């Protein structure tokens, strides 16, 4: 008589959880470094040129990783339209994100980008016809109030940067929605076409905005690609070692890195009260929406 195999859930040891936390913190530090690099380069280059080189330096090694690894089947997709839309929106979001970073302190853009998870339920309501109760609508309103506080810290904020940051948050939210329909696709496939679109889209503007990379800036361009790749790798690995509900709160360490960069690199005089108040409302709204989703999943 054949014995029936039973599968027991993998125990999440303290060491695994600690390793996941450290990876998450390292990932968001890497993303902060990427933002700082993009901001530094924006003083000399158009954001489209920065986005082009950033993605080109990522898509080339990614391409050879797939080909040399004998994984060319990952170039194929069963959902070309949805994958194309996701890649297109992702490529555009790099340009809008770099535009926001070039015009605003990194800490302000970081807080504004947080709103993407608040906007996601709204996008789901309009495009997926998902029901949103008054609890979520209240959380969305509270989060948007946080954005308004950030938008008027001193009355001198760049509204081009603000609009670009909000557009980036909306695009990120739409990406989250599209990723729901791409669950059957390999993350490698999704990421490759994201990098590919992020190279092609800004390349369309290069004839009018490109100046070529000065040798003095080779290291910064390399840093922006290295930090982006490291951040993507470490955050992906972190979610393999711990549940998303455990990892997600540590994403807010990015605000700490952003404030430190603003202070010690650009010597910005930040309105800490506005940042703290706005970030608190946005983070509260995010956590409340997450808690409601978790509660609803148990009922």
Question: What pLDDT, on a 0 to 100 scale, did the predictor assign at position 56?
Answer: 95
Q: Which H or E run includes 23?
A: helix 14-41
Q: Give 1's pLDDT tier (boundaries 50, 70, 90).
A: very low
Residue 6 is assigned to a structural domain of this protein: no
Cα-to-chain-centroid distance, residue 215: 29
Residue 4 is assigned to a structural domain of this protein: no
Residue 126 is assigned to a structural domain of this protein: yes
Count of domains observed in the chain: 1
Residue 7 is assigned to a structural domain of this protein: no
Residue 5 is assigned to a structural domain of this protein: no
The residue segments making up the domain with residue 270 are 14-297
Cα dist from 91 to 3, 48, 195, 214, 267, whole Å? 52, 10, 7, 24, 31
Tens of pLDDT, residues 217-227: 999 999 999 99
Q: Which position has the higher pLDDT, 166 or 246?
A: 166
Q: Give 99's pLDDT tier (boundaries 50, 70, 90).
A: very high
Q: Is the pLDDT of residue 15 over 80?
A: no
Residue 263 is assigned to a structural domain of this protein: yes
Residue 270 is assigned to a structural domain of this protein: yes
Please return the burial class of 298, using the count of CB atoms within 10 Å of its CB with bins 0-12, 13-18 and 19+.
exposed
Q: Give 5's pLDDT tier (boundaries 50, 70, 90).
A: very low
Distance CA 225, CA 16 (A): 28
CB 124 within 8 A of CB 174: no
- Hey, what are 210's tokens? 């490109």
Distance CA 229, CA 27 (A): 10
* Opening angle at CA 174, ends 164 and 298, nearest 5: 130
């Amino acid at each position: 008589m054949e014995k029936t195999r039973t599968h027991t859930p993998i125990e999440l040891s303290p060491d695994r959880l600690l390793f996941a936390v450290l990876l998450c913190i390292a990932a968001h530090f890497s993303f902060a470094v990427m933002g700082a690099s993009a901001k530094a380069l924006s003083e000399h280059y158009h954001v489209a040129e920065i986005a082009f080189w950033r993605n080109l330096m990522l898509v080339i090694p990614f391409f050879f990783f797939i080909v040399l690894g004998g994984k060319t089947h990952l170039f194929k997709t069963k959902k070309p339209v949805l994958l194309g839309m996701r890649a297109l929106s992702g490529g555009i979001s790099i340009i809008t994100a770099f535009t926001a970073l070039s015009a605003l302190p990194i800490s302000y853009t970081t807080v504004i980008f947080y709103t993407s998870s608040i906007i996601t339920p709204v996008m789901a309501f309009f495009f997926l016809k998902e029901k949103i109760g008054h609890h979520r609508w209240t959380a969305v309103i509270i989060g948007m109030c946080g954005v308004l506080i950030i938008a008027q810290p001193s009355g001198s904020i760049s509204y081009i940067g603000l609009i670009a940051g909000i557009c980036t948050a909306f695009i990120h939210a739409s990406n989250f929605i599209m990723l729901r329909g791409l669950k059957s696709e390999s993350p490698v496939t999704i990421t490759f076409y994201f990098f590919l679109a992020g190279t092609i889209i800004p390349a369309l503007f290069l004839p009018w905005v490109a100046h070529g990379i000065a040798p003095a800036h080779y290291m910064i361009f390399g840093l922006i690609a290295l930090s982006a790749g490291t951040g993507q790798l470490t955050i992906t690995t972190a979610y393999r070692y711990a549940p998303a509900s455990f990892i997600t709160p540590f994403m807010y360490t990015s605000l700490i890195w952003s404030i430190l960069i603003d202070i010690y690199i650009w010597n910005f005089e930040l309105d800490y009260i506005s940042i703290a108040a706005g970030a608190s409302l946005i983070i509260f709204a995010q956590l409340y929406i997450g808690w409601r989703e978790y509660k609803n999943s148990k009922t």
